[in-house]
Amino acid sequence: MRRSPSEQARAQPPEPPPVAVLRSVPAPDREQVVSLLKDNPALLEEGLRMIDVNLPVVPGAPIDLLALDSSCRLVVVDIDTSTRDSLLVRGIYHIGWLVGNVPLLRRMYRTLLIDYDVNPRVFLVAPDYSNPHRSATSWISTPEIKCFKYRTVVLRGVAGILVEPA
């Protein structure tokens, strides 16, 4: 008994997707990650728009990126190139600074539509997170904290950075 072409196609197992060979390369430095996210905010969230870089809130601890989400809510993006729990403290500190300096922010960003009536969010970006960090962020509901991991890979001789939710 002969099968129709559509029956033959259904009977054959699907071909596996092509496999690419990736190799690990040295991690990017902080400035490279900041630049990548500044130019590609959708890697973190669709509709995210960067409005400032290296905002100097205190010496040695600037806000790496300040953004607005699609609901005009401020978002702090803090980046670290290692797995340190201090990134969480830095992010929360930056939220406190923003909330405590709304009059200054209104002057700095007077041309932007920003909803100052809601608490800012914080996005933390690092190669990985410790178990205590993961546990702590799972218990914190305000401010809203999102963690992202990144890694560098090479595909066909081109290095790239992969950013994914942690």
With both helix axes pointing from N to C terminus, report the angle between 131-139 and 86-100 in degrees, rounded to the nearest 10. Answer: 30
The strand pair at 74-79 and 121-126 is best described as parallel
The reported pTM is: 0.82
For residue range 118-137, list pLDDT tens digits in order.
Answer: 999 999 999 999 999 999 99
Is residue 86, in this structure, part of any structural domain at all? yes
pLDDT score, position 27: 77
Question: Is residue 16 a part of any domain in this protein?
Answer: no
Mean pLDDT of 43-64: 92
Answer whether residue 134 is part of any domain: yes
What is the per-residue pLDDT for 165?
Answer: 94
95 assigned to some structural domain:
yes
Domain count, the chain: 1
Residue 134: which CATH number?
A: 3.40.1350.10
Residue type, 76: V
Task: Identify the domain containing residue 119 by its residue range.
Answer: 32-165
